[in-house]
Structure 1
């Protein structure tokens, strides 16, 4: 039940956030048309697309982990299957991933709250608030952390989904 809840949450977030790729592509096209077609560039498009891309990138971390799309060094794991592979994968999550994800989540939260309290803005041509992006980073870190918990539970309960190569 916990695995399905976490996986489902990251699946829904991933699908919703994917829409932002279309939004920032539309803004970029709009700005390019204005800049080169009408010689009237916008002052805000670059900063807005930069923030939207940052939001898009960080918010998809849990979704990517859920679908095993993160970069991994599988030099040893590729040679193993079954229980030895699961045990080594579990050790990797417990020793490396979960401590990093915890530090990322707690640090991002502190970072976001400082930005919120200060009312931090960008320093570009248009001063956009920065704290929404930093809050998104904290939420994304939490989603990544709980997806890591889901992956650990899958390994412990042997509920891993087969990899593309069938293992």
Structure 2
């Protein structure tokens, strides 16, 4: 191994380590950011060389580079808040938000939503939360063909995702039929 090859191995390692420190610094600086997902860097060999040794063949690394920076989308901890419009995604999934009057969709796990002056549920950027309309169902025994409530589970949706808007901040009371606890 020549002098320049040895220097390249060392400098490529320092460069990759510096980029890893940037990723770690970004994770630390955003630790209190709502919905932030940390990243992790993966390294790979930049070059390698086959050499012959007394015990046979071998391989010597000639440098390192950044293989990939991957986001960690595992479930984070859920926190209690005093706002009724703060939401959280349990498990896989994202909230879909869209700028008003545009056909763009963005995805986020940050659930800090508030109602704007027009009644739309929006994120801090003013993007409107997207959601499906829920199909109202008649839960009487005659309407379900005699099926019990335990046999009819799930929520039926209709249409395509649209802006979530409350026309009236009051709704008729409805008995709770299912509770999930985490």
Give the structure-1-normalised TM-score.
0.29
| Structure with more of its chain in helix, by fraction | 1
Q: Which has the larger radius of gyration?
A: 2
Answer 1 or 2: which has greater strand percent.
Answer: 2
